Amino acid sequence: MKDWAFDGIDIDWEYPASDEDAANMVLLLQAVRNELDAYASEHAPGYHFQLTIAAPAGSSHYSKLRLADLGRIVDYVNLMAYDYAGSWSSVAGHSANLYANTDIPQSTPFNTDDAVKAYLDAG
């Protein structure tokens, strides 16, 4: 933090695949939060170093996370709202759509609106 004048850390864990992974992610983030707070206490009294995560926008990934626990630890969630479709998709689709396509749902298996609502609903 001191040498590079960082104001915090962003963690990008792609992606917790099990309950054990999700629990370990919470433990990791809590340990990092504790260390950031201890560092601030010693080297930058009164300063709050940011702890953020890069978080998935696909329900198959975020449904495995402990969102309420994460929300109590991190300062911000940076939603990775892109790569919704690509070479892995069975049909052409939008790469970073805001809403689901109600006329052709298979073209938008993921959408930013649903992801944001899920994160907010979880706290």
- Residue spans per domain, the chain: 8-122
Of the candidates 11, 99, 119, 123, the one whose C-alpha atom is nearest the C-alpha of residue 59 is 119
Mean pLDDT, the chain, integer: 95
Q: Which of 14, 20, 35, 42 is catalytic?
A: 14
The whole-number average pLDDT for the span 25-36 is: 99
Of the candidate CATH numbers 3.50.50.60, 3.40.50.970, 3.20.20.80, 2.60.40.1120, the domain formed by 8-122 belongs to 3.20.20.80
Per-residue pLDDT at 93: 85
Query: pLDDT higher for 94 or 13?
Result: 13
Phi/psi region, residue 95 (left: phi>0; alpha: psi -120 to 50; beta: rest), is alpha
Annotated active-site residue 14? The verdict is: yes
State how far the Cα of 60 lies from the Cα of 1, in Å rounded to an integer.
34
Which tokens hold the place of 107? 């073209």
| Contact indicator for 102, 113 with CB cutoff of 8 Å | no
Instruction: Tell me the residue type at 115.
Output: A
Q: Give 105's pLDDT tier (boundaries 50, 70, 90).
A: confident
Per-residue pLDDT at 59: 92
- The reported pTM is 0.89
